[in-house]
Structure 1
Amino acid sequence: MALPDFVEPLGDDLYAVDTGFHRPRFDAAYLIVERGRAAFVDTGTNHAVPRMLAVLDALGLGPDAVDYVIPTHVHLDHAGGAGLLMQSLPKATMLVHPRGARHMINPLALYLGAQAVYGEEEMQRSYGRLHAVDATRVRSPADGEVIELAGRPLTFIDTPGHARHHHCIWDERSGGWFTGDTFGLSYREHDTTRGAWILPTSTPVQFDPDALRRSMDRLLARSPRCMYLTHFGRVTGAPRLADLLHEQLDGMVALALRLRSAPDRHAALKTALGELYSEQLARHGVADPVAAVDDLDLDIELNAQGLAIWLDRSTT
C-alpha cells in the first residue's frame, strides 16, 4: 500500500505525519519503526488519530506493533490526541515527562488551562474531549534515561524553557533530536537558498528564556545531524539555527522588557514581534516578509501572551 500524502518518509525508518492541525505542514507527529515495532513521538489532536492509524496500516503494521507513545510535552497540539490514540494501541506504554504524567492520567486541569487561553468554542472545534490514560500504562523516563525500541536506543533529557513538562528524545540511529518546541518553529514555506528559518516559541504559560537557552545548548552538545521539529519537519544545520534562535530569543526578551509598562501591552508586543520577525525574514531572503509575518499570526499571538506572563511572573 502506498503511503498517504500526509506522510513523509525521512530515512532511518522514520516517518513524519502531518496531523492536519490548523493548516497543512504546521504540526507533525513522528513514527519510528524498528524491526517490526513502532513508537509515535507526539500525536497531534484527537482529529489526527485516524492519520496515525492509517500510516501504521500503510506500513503493514497492526495497532499492537506500537510499543510507545511519546509526547514531548503535554500542550494539546502535541498530546491532545494521545489519550484517544492509546485506546487503539493495546500494547503501548506512554512515555511522558514526570511533570506531565498527571495531566495524561487526569486531563481535566490540562483542558481547563488550555480553555483559559483559547476559549471553549476553539477548544471544541480544534481539540474536542481529552481522554484519560490508565496510570498503569504511563511511565516517566528520568533525565538521561535510555529506553530501547526493539534494540534502538532512545535517550530522554529534561528540556525546560518552553514548558517545565518538556523532554526531548535523542535517536542514535539517525543522529537527530525530537525537539517538540524546545528548538523552535520552522515552517517549510520560509525555506530559502540559505536553508531553513526558525523562531523561538514563548507560548504561555511556562516560558523561561534562561532555561530555554540551557536546553538548546544541551541539544547542540551531541552535534546532531538533524532536528525533528513538531512545527514543522526535519531540519539540518543545527548550529546555524541555534545561533538564530539565540539571537531572536535575546531580541524577544529585550522588546518585552522595553514594553513592560506599555499602555496596551499585548498589542504592542504583537506589533514589535511582527517587526522583529519581518526584519529576520527579509535578511533570510524571503521574497515577501510582510506576507510571511501574516502567516505567523497565531504564533505571534501566543508568543505575545507568553512573554506577558513571563514579564508578570518575573516582577513578583
Structure 2
Amino acid sequence: MTNNYPKKLNERIYLIDGFDMGESERTGTYVIDELELTIVETGPSPSVKYVKSGLELLGFSLDQVKYIIVTHIHLDHAGGAGLLMEECPNAQLVVHPKGVRHLAEPTRLIAGAKAVYGTKFEELFNPIIPIPQERMVIKNDGDILKIGDTCILKFFDTPGHANHHFSIYDPVSNGMFTGDTVGVRYEQLVSDGVDFFLPSTSPNQFNPVAMQRAIELFAQMNLQSIYYGHYGMTNSPEEALSQVSMWLNIFMAEAETVYEEDKGYEELASRLEKLVKKHLGNEGISENHEVFRLIQLDLEVSSMGIIDYLTKQDKAKADY
C-alpha cells in the first residue's frame, strides 16, 4: 500500500489521499480533529484502506470516529461509506435527505455505475455495502451539528452538481467543504505555481443555475478556505469561485453551439480541452503536463452532463 502521510491543512483538519482510480491527489478524505472525531467524504471502497491507514498514522482508532459526512452519494465520494461504517462501530453517517434511501438500498447506485463503467466497476467501486437507516443522520438546509466545544458545523443544500448534495461550513476555519458543487481543484498544477479550478458538470442532475447560485452564496460568505472533494484546500476562495464561474459560462456557451450543430459530447469535450490547453499554455503549462490526463477525463464527463441538461431542456420546451 502507498504510504502517504495525511497532509495537515491547519491546526485541526487533515487530508488523506484515497488514491481514487489509482491516481494520487485525485479524491480526498478530510479528518476534523474535534471532540467528536469527524470525517468528511469516504471515497470509493478501494480508498477505505487508505483512510484507515491515514487515521492510524494520525493516532486515531476507528472506534473514535463519531461522524462520517458525505457531501453527496456519487460513488467516488460515498461509495466506501458502508465499508467504513462497518469498521467504525460508534460512527453515524451524515447525509443529504435525498441520499438516504440510496445508501440504505444501493441497487440503483450500483446499476448506474455499472452502466457507465462496465467491467471496470469491480476494480473501481466494489464492494458497495448497504448502511442501516438507524445509523444515518439527515441534515437539511440550515441544520447544524455540534462536533466540539467551539465547533458547530452548518449544512447548506447546494444542488447544481447533484440534487443530493450539501456543503458543510466549518466556523473555526471559516471554511466550506464543497464536494463537487463549486468545482474541481487541480493539485497537480500547484507546484507549477498555478491554482486552477473547473466546474464539475457531470450527469444526470447538473443544473447551471443552481451551480451558479452556490458559487454566489459562497462568494458572499467571505470564506477563508474551501475544501474540495477533488482535491485539497485553497485559501483563495474568491479567485477559485471566480474561475469556476467564468468556466461555467464558457462551458455552457460552447455547449449551446455544439448542441445547435447537432454534435455530441465528444465534440464538446474536444473543444473545451483546446480552450483549457490554450488557457494553461498562457500560464506556462506544457501540453504534455500530467494534469491533462485528469482534465481530459473530467471534461468528457462534464460534457456528458451538459449535453444531457440541454437535451432535457429541449424536451421540456417541446412538451410545453
Q: What interval of TM-score do these two structures reach, taking the shorter chain for normalisation? A: over 0.9
What pairs with 1:17-166 in structure 2 (closer than 5 Å)? 17-22=16-21, 23-35=23-35, 37-119=36-118, 121-151=119-149, 152-166=151-165
Please tell me the residue identity of whatever aligns with 1:238: P
State the distance in 1 between where 2:57 and 2:265 align.
46
Residue 289 of structure 1: how far off its partner (Å)? 3.8
**Cα deviation 1:247-277 (Å, max 9, x = unaligned):** 1100100111111143541221111111221
Q: What is the deviation of 1:70?
A: 0.5
Q: Secondary structure at the match of 1:174?
A: coil
Q: Is the 8 A contact 2:6 2:58 kept in 1?
A: no
In structure 1, what is the equivalent of residue 295 of structure 2?
Answer: 296
Q: How does 1:223-238 map to 2 (within 5 A)?
A: 223-238=222-237
The runs of at least 4 aligned residues of structure 1 exceeding 4 Å deviation read: 192-195
Q: How far off its partner does 1:128 sit? A: 0.8
User: For the structure 1 residues 274 and 290, does the alpha-carbon distance in structure 2 shift closer, same or farther, using more than 3 Å as the test?
Assistant: farther
Contact 1:84 1:130 in 2 (8 A): yes
SS for the counterpart of 1:83 is: helix
Query: CA, structure 1 residues 6+122, in 2 after alignment: closer, same or farther (shift >3 Å)?
Result: farther
Q: Which residue of 1 aligns with 2:318?
A: none
SS state of the match for residue 300, structure 1?
helix
The answer on whether the counterparts of 1:69 and 1:92 sit within 8 Å (CA) in structure 2 is yes
Taking structure 1 as reference, are residues 142 and 237 closer, same or farther at Cα in structure 2, changes over 3 Å only?
same
Quick check: 221-230 or 258-267, which moved more?
258-267
Match of 2:273?
A: 274
C-alpha distance in structure 1 between counterparts of 2:293 and 2:140, whole Å: 40
What letter matches 2:213 in structure 1?
Answer: R
Give the TM-score normalised by structure 2.
0.92
Q: Secondary structure at the match of 2:227?
A: strand
1:46 & 1:259 partners in 2: Cα distance?
Answer: 37
Pairwise CA distance, 1:241:
1.5
Distance in 2 of aligned mates of 1:61 and 1:192: 30
Take 2:147 and 2:194, find their aligned partners in 1: how far apart are those partners?
32
**Contact 1:192–1:286 (8 Å) recurs in 2:** no
How far apart, in 1, do the equivalents of 2:176 and 2:230 lie? 14
Q: Percent identity?
A: 30
Q: Is there any run of 5+ residues in structure 1 with no aligned partner, and where?
A: none
Cα deviation, 1:160-205, whole Å, max 9, x if unaligned, reads 0000100000111111111100121111222377641110011111
Q: Give 5+ residue unaligned stretches, structure 2.
A: 316-320
- For residue 179 of structure 2, what is the amino acid of its counterpart? G
- Secondary structure of residue in 2 paired with 1:296: helix
Partner AA of 1:272 in structure 2: R
Aligned to 1:305: 304
Let me know the Cα RMSD of the aligned residues.
1.6
Question: TM-score, normalised on structure 1?
Answer: 0.93
Equivalent residues, number: 310
> 2:209 aligns to what SS in structure 1?
helix
**Preserved contact between residue 71 and residue 178 of structure 2 (Cα < 8 Å):** yes
Match of 1:12 in 2: 11
| 8 Å Cα contact 1:38-1:65 kept in structure 2 | yes
Matches of 1:286 and 1:96 in 2, distance apart? 41
Local SS of the residue matching 2:19: coil
- Distance in 2 between the 1:88 and 1:279 partners? 47
Name whichever of 206-215 and 286-295 sits farther off: 286-295
